[in-house]
Each structure stands twice: as structure tokens, then as C-alpha cells.
């Protein structure tokens, strides 16, 4: 898994994903790409985040490269590029929760980590499990 953008954007995306997974993420160079996850360490006492940590571990360990990037259009997971997009101007965004692999009218998320967790769920269910 690699992060796209300049240093400020990479650091922002990394911080959001660390919050989403309650973990420490170390970035480095992987297969010729910079800003890729080289180490993932779950925080102590983060058992409540075990499912999303497992999903993140599977995406990082996949032979396919997944990406995290900012978008100027809308947040989404794009299976054709394996990219999780976070809206560049996420502030004030209200985001629908995920049930299975379907976005619902349930709980709304409005913080970068919450939105990235939502898109990570899509990436895991579609990219790893082939769900629609």
C-alpha cells in the first residue's frame, strides 16, 4: 500500500489511516515506489480495531499494490486502480456508513480516519474478497 501526493498530503493521509486502524505505520520504498507501507504495528490495547487491522494487513500483504490519495471530485474506492480516494476538502463532509459492501443511510462519518476506514472496508471486501 502506497500513499500519493506531496509530503504534507502523504503525512495527512498516513495520519488518517493510522487513526482509522489504531496503529503506527512506517513508510519507505517498495518495488520502486516511495511512500509505501514497510511496517504496520497495531497500538497496544486496540482489540476493538482487530477487524480493520486485519483488513489493512491483508491489503498491505497483497501481491497487488493499493494506493491512498486525495481527490478533488469525491471520496471512493476505485477497484480499477486499487485506490482509496479521500476528498481533498474533506472538512464538513458527511459520509454514509458501510454495511457489508453497501453504503447505507446509517451512521455518518466526517473525519479523515473515519472516511479512510470506510474506503478501506470497500478495498478489502472488493479487492481481497471480490465482493461487488
pLDDT tens, residue by residue, 55-110: 889 888 999 999 999 887 667 788 999 988 887 765 544 445 444 445 555 555 55
| pLDDT for the residue numbered 94 | 47
Strands (E) across 79-121 are located at: 83-87, 95-99, 102-109
Task: Compute how many other C-beta atoms are within 10 angstroms of the C-beta atom of residue 62.
Answer: 15
Torsion-angle region of 114 (φ positive above 0: left; ψ -120 to 50: alpha; else: beta): alpha
Is the per-residue pLDDT at 26 higher than 50? yes
Lookup result for grid cell 471512493: 76
Q: What is the pTM of this model?
A: 0.78
Q: pLDDT band at 131, cuts 50/70/90?
A: low
Amino acid at each position: 500500500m502506497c500513499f500519493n501526493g506531496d509530503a504534507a498530503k502523504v503525512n495527512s493521509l498516513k495520519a488518517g489511516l493510522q487513526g482509522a486502524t489504531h496503529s503506527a505505520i512506517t513508510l519507505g520504498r517498495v518495488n520502486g515506489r516511495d511512500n509505501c507501507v514497510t511496517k504496520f504495528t497495531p497500538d497496544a490495547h486496540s482489540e476493538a480495531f482487530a477487524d480493520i487491522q486485519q483488513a489493512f494487513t491483508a491489503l498491505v500483504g497483497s501481491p497487488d499494490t493499493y494506493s491512498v490519495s486525495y481527490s478533488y471530485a469525491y471520496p471512493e474506492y476505485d477497484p480499477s486502480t486499487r485506490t482509496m480516494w479521500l476528498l481533498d476538502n474533506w472538512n464538513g463532509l458527511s459520509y454514509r456508513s458501510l454495511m457489508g459492501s453497501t453504503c447505507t443511510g446509517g451512521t455518518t462519518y466526517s473525519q479523515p480516519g473515519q472516511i479512510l476506514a470506510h474506503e478501506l472496508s470497500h478495498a478489502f471486501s472488493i479487492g481481497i474478497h471480490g465482493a461487488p
